[in-house]
């Protein structure tokens, strides 16, 4: 059928498949300090830097599942508008169960006028659990979030992974990400369109390498994740005719131009500017600030002034 479509010019753009993997926006705990949740609780859940929180049974759960700051929400909306201007309207959406990832997906869809697209909460998109060192991590159940009118959560979605195994380490995280992206591609191989995966800093590394069948490198995962800035993303596109994938890497301080020069000015760069986030240096490479100044996308950053 695909050959006939090509011969008679009947192929549609919808036959192409595009997957966008993104990190969430600025998170409250890194921006506001380690005691942000207790201070917020004392202030009656009011802080001008946090716009909205879904009610939780135990406020202490926010310590390990923090929300976005208002700047993080603006970053997410700016990314959504930029994608829409490029013609990348989101058709399907999957999110990590982390609240910050759900907020990022929600704001990105809102900025595109596509709040009608429901968010599928997929535990398989959560980052490496062993990094939490046995912390009491609790997510808001999807069925509860679906009753919150601030979000459009699909309460009927049957996740590929039922939950998060807190004993999972880096190697198994790569395996999970590979199996997850295989399942998502299988689900959408006939639909085409643009699929958003709202994940974490390590998602681009693990999901991207899994999809391309590249060797997992658990010993480098933390380093690779540290290079990914807020709302950076990678675009993976499958051509409807050749079935080949093209990868557009995110702009990072180590890779300021991206691997595909054709989109170097298309991906806004958002720095994690919080004083609570450590600064990373790479031997033999230009400084983070210098790479930003040499990057055309930084002009977008300067124009909107997001932090």
For 25-45, the DSSP string reads: --BHHHHH-TTHHHHHHHTTS
The answer to whether residue 272 sits within a structural domain is no
The answer to whether residue 200 sits within a structural domain is yes
- Can you give the pLDDT at residue 15? 66
How far apart CA 121 and CA 102 sit, in angstroms, is: 8
The answer to whether residue 98 sits within a structural domain is yes
Question: Into how many domains does the chain fold?
Answer: 1
- Can you give the pLDDT at residue 301? 30
**Which residues partner with 99 through β-bridges?**
none
The answer to whether residue 284 sits within a structural domain is no
The answer to whether residue 279 sits within a structural domain is no
Q: Please tell me the number of Cα atoms within 13 Å of 187 on its side-chain side.
A: 17
β-strand pairing of 233-238 with 17-23: antiparallel
Q: Between the CA atoms of 37, 42, 44 and 50, what dihedral angle is there, to the nearest 10 degrees? A: -30
The answer to whether residue 216 sits within a structural domain is yes
CATH of the domain at 213: 3.40.50.1240
From residue 257, alpha-carbon distances to 51, 88, 266, 294 in Å are 33, 20, 11, 9
In whole angstroms, what separates CA 277 from the centre of its chain?
Answer: 18
The answer to whether residue 282 sits within a structural domain is no
Do 124 and 182 form a contact (C-beta atoms < 8 A)?
no
Q: Please tell me the number of Cα atoms within 13 Å of 185 on its side-chain side.
A: 21
The answer to whether residue 6 sits within a structural domain is no
- How many C-beta atoms surround the C-beta of residue 180 within 10 A? 25
For residue 270, what is the DSSP state?
Answer: B
Q: Please tell me the number of Cα atoms within 13 Å of 233 on its side-chain side.
A: 31
Q: Which two tokens stand for residue 82?
A: 């930029």
Grouped pLDDT means (10 residues each) for the chain, 307 residues: 41 70 94 88 85 91 94 95 86 98 98 97 97 89 95 97 93 97 92 94 93 92 91 86 74 44 32 29 29 34 31
Domain boundaries, position 254: 12-259+296-304
Phi, psi angles (nearest 5°) of residue 306 = -75, 150
């Amino acid at each position: 059928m695909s050959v006939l479509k090509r011969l008679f010019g009947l192929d549609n753009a919808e036959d192409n498949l595009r997957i966008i993997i993104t990190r969430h926006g600025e998170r409250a705990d890194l921006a506001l300090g380690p005691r942000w949740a207790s201070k917020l609780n004392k202030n009656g859940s009011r802080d001008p830097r946090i716009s909205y929180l879904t009610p939780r049974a135990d406020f202490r759960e926010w310590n390990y599942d923090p929300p976005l700051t208002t700047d993080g929400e603006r970053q997410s909306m700016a990314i959504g508008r930029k994608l829409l201007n490029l013609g990348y309207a989101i058709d399907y959406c999957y999110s990590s169960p982390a609240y910050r990832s759900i907020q990022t997906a929600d704001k990105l869809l809102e900025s595109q006028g596509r709040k009608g697209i429901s968010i599928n909460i997929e535990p398989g998109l959560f980052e490496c659990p062993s990094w939490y060192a046995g912390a009491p991590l609790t997510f808001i159940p999807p069925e509860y979030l679906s009753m919150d009118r601030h979000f459009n959560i699909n309460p009927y979605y049957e996740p590929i992974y039922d939950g998060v195994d807190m004993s999972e380490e880096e190697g198994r995280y790569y395996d999970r990400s590979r199996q997850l992206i295989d399942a998502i591609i299988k689900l959408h191989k006939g639909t085409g369109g643009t699929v958003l995966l709202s994940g974490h800093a390590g998602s681009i590394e693990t999901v991207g390498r899994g999809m391309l069948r590249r060797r997992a490198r658990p010993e480098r995962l933390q380093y690779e994740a540290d290079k990914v800035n807020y709302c950076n993303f990678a675009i993976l596109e499958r051509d409807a005719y050749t079935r080949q994938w093209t990868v557009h890497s995110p702009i990072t301080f180590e890779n300021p131009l991206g691997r595909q020069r054709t989109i170097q000015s298309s991906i806004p760069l958002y720095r994690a500017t919080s004083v609570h986030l450590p600064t990373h240096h790479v031997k033999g490479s230009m400084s983070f600030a210098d790479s930003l100044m040499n990057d055309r996308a930084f002009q977008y950053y300067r124009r909107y002034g997001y932090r």
